[in-house]
Amino acid sequence: MDKVERKIRKESLLFDLEYNFVVQFIKLRKKLKLSQEALAAKSGILRVNVARIETQMVSPQLNTLIKILAPIGYTVKIVPIKEVEPKE
């Protein structure tokens, strides 16, 4: 495998990991029956920022994720990549 292929695989993995996170983020919000607006109100951020995360327009900082998740009883967790749910 050459240098270009390795870079492409790395970028693909990063995209898949971010995509999987966003899918889980949306599933959680819907499971809790929260609109983007309600989640934003609980966490003290703007609804537009929740939408930007969900559409992958931005990659949120860790403190933003914690700020959003903590009020609904969740946090960010570090897990081995092999445990990440496959892309849907």
Give the model confidence (pLDDT) of 37-62 as tens digits. Answer: 999 999 999 999 999 999 999 999 99
**pTM, entire model:** 0.83
Residue 86 predicted with pLDDT over 60: no
Contact status, residue 43 vs residue 75, Cβ threshold 8 Å:
no
Task: Give which of 36, 15, 14 is closest to 25, Cα–Cα.
Answer: 36
- Give the mean pLDDT of 20-47: 97
Say how far apart CA 80 and CA 64 lie, in whole Å: 22
pLDDT of residue 55: 97
- The answer to whether domain 3-83 has CATH 1.10.260.40 is yes
| 8 Å CB contact between 45 and 67 | yes
What is the rounded CA–CA span in Å between residue 81 and residue 50? 25
Q: Is the pLDDT of residue 64 over 90?
A: yes
